[in-house]
Structure 1
Amino acid sequence: MTTAERAGAAVGVFRGVTVLHAAMTVVQPIAAGALLQASTVGLVVHRAVGGTLLLIAAVQVLAALLAWRPGGLPAWPIAVTAGLVVVETAQVALGATGVLAVHVPLGVVVVGAAVGLAVWTLRARRTADP
């Protein structure tokens, strides 16, 4: 595998993980809506996806690093992804303790940031071939 192929693969992995992460964040308000209808399934899904999001976000940080070097994408997605890890960790704690006045608006920010980053990754081009 050439250096350019490895760089392309790194960017592809980052795109895939970022899109998966964004899709999972979109599931969260749907599950929360089911929760408002007194659905125990909604609660189970919301909790399970929330915990899984933390794992996916951690993998996304590594993927962002590889998309930067050797991938050739800019470095700023690393900071956005790391920020999402921090905010999603807070989200899990806020949800578990029932602080919905912060949990709900912060969830909107998470969905917006994750979807925005995913859209950017699908449109991004490498700055230079390694």
Structure 2
Amino acid sequence: MVRLLHAIVALQTVLVFVQSITAGLRTTVADGHVLHSAGSYTLWIVTVAHVVVAVLAWRPGGGSARAVWYALGFLALITAQVFAGLYHLTALHIPLAAALLVASVLYLVSLRSTRHHSSHPARAAA
């Protein structure tokens, strides 16, 4: 279940990055808004799946509840991001997008380093 958690966070991170590309396309291509809109709903669905996977990794899997709190917080922020976009609140939408990308990358790096250290007990003890 931990591998699935890492995979879903990696997918979420890639989708947040792709959203920055489609945001640029939105301003330069006639139908760019369609790509950006489709990407936002796809990202929201992946984030909901992230919450489900985090809960499964925590409760039955015996993992940390930290992943659940991160997933719930990210879901709340992605939901706010979707609404900010729908209501054209660009002063909120753009900085929140940047913060979501940074948060997602940092969490992915954190998960990967945790997995790396936990798979090598001698390194974790050092």
- Coarse TM-score class (shorter-chain normalised): 0.7 to 0.9
- Residue of structure 2 aligned with 1:63, choices 32, 47, 53: 53
Tell me how far 1:122 sits from its aligned partner. Answer: 2.1
Shift of 1:72: 4.1
CA RMSD, 1 decimal: 1.7
User: How many angstroms apart in 2 are the aligned matches of 1:40 and 1:72?
Assistant: 49
Contact 1:64-1:81 at 8 Å conserved across structures: yes
- For residues 18 and 4 of structure 2, the distance between their equivalents in structure 1, rounded to whole angstroms, comes to 21
Whether the aligned pair in 2 keeps the contact of 1:77 and 1:117 (CA below 8 Å) is no
Equivalent residue pairs, number: 117
Structure 2 runs not aligned, ≥5 long: 120-126
Q: Deviations over 1:44-74 (max 9, x none)?
A: 1110010111111011011112222343432
Q: 91-100 vs 69-78, which deviates more? A: 69-78
Identity between Structure 1 and Structure 2 (%) = 32
C-alpha contact (below 8 Å) 1:73/1:124 kept by paired residues = no
1:114 alignment counterpart: 104
Deviates more, 1:74-83 or 1:61-70: 61-70
Partner of 1:31: helix, strand, or coil?
A: helix
Match of 2:78 in 1: 88
1:1-130 equivalent positions in 2, closer than 5 A: 10-37=1-28, 39-125=29-115
Code of the aligned partner of 2:22 = A
Q: Shift in Å at residue 102 of structure 1?
A: 0.5
Contact kept, 8 Å, 1:25 with 1:53, in 2: the verdict is: yes
Task: State the alpha-carbon separation in 2 of the partners of residues 14 and 89 from structure 1.
Answer: 20
